[in-house]
Amino acid sequence: MKNIQDLITLSNGVNIHCMGYGTWRTPAGDETTTAVKNAIECGFRHIDTAQLYGNEESVGEGIRASQIKRQEIFLTTKLKNSDQGYDATLKAFEGSLKRLKAEYLDLYLIHWPVPVLFKDNWREVSRATWKAMERLYDEKLIRAIGLSNFLPHHIKNIANFANVAPVVDQLEIHPCFTQRETVKYCQEHNIQVQAWSPLGHGTILQNEVLGTIAASHGKTPAQIALRWELQQNIIPISKSMKPSRMKENADVFDFTLSPEEMDRIFALGEDGRTGPNPDHIDF
């Protein structure tokens, strides 16, 4: 891979860009519209949002403001927890399309596996949700369907009943929360892993190990973390409101981490989770 517009082929044959721009915690309005437009100007073509973020309309406006052709953008959004279930999913999807002012989605994800509203029957609700997504996929309103924050036991609950296999799982992954077992499971089952919070919400930026490795390459700790993810064939979904930081995040293709450096980063472990446990969310 040579730049952020390089493509990875998903198991259903759809191409996805190797890095994405995320919009979590970017408020609806001009700020988000400008940030998305700036990200596209910096070279990003893979844009990630969610119904839960409340900014789909602004993200869509940012894409249009960029004047880049829609077919050159890979657009992802995610289903809100309270809208899981067959009929609710179909309705929620229609709402997302309207807010984004899009005719189709490139990728649609179930945002979380065990919403508090469906905690007692999440398995049945999750499968019904997937059936609705399969229908939308068959109708060619979505080019690929997948999951977010699903661990192996959540994935099996869907995969064992699915007609269309999940092609993506988006997980919290960064140097202090590697999720190696789930990544291995996904890769063994042809599920492309994406990393949200690839910089641990900034918690990894002062890490001594990353700082030492960064200095040896003339890079920043953030760039080391993103490169570490890319070398695992994981798609990082980075986020910044600043064009200078967007450009920095994209500048990770002119060096390679050695196997020893990769192992030093893996050794940082599994204690740095910044988001909720998918089995114990309260929303």
**Each residue of 189-205: pLDDT tens digit?**
999 999 999 999 999 99
Q: The whole model's pTM is what?
A: 0.97
28 — pLDDT class (breaks 50, 70, 90):
confident
Q: Are strands 7-9 and 46-48 parallel, antiparallel or unpaired?
A: unpaired
Q: What is the pLDDT of residues 96-139, one digit of tens each?
A: 999 999 999 999 999 999 999 999 999 999 999 999 999 999 99
DSSP 83: G
Query: What does each C-alpha distance from 261 to 39, 193, 204, 217, 252 come to in angstroms?
Result: 29, 21, 16, 11, 15
Identify the CATH number of the domain defined by range 7-266: 3.20.20.100
- For the stretch 35-58, pLDDT in tens is 999 999 999 999 999 999 999 999
The residues assigned a catalytic role are 53
On the 0-12 / 13-18 / 19+ scale of CB atoms within 10 A, 61 is buried
pLDDT for residue 25? 87
| pLDDT value at residue 27 | 85
Domain boundaries, the chain: 7-266
Q: What is the pLDDT of residues 200-232, one digit of tens each?
A: 999 999 999 999 999 999 999 999 999 999 999
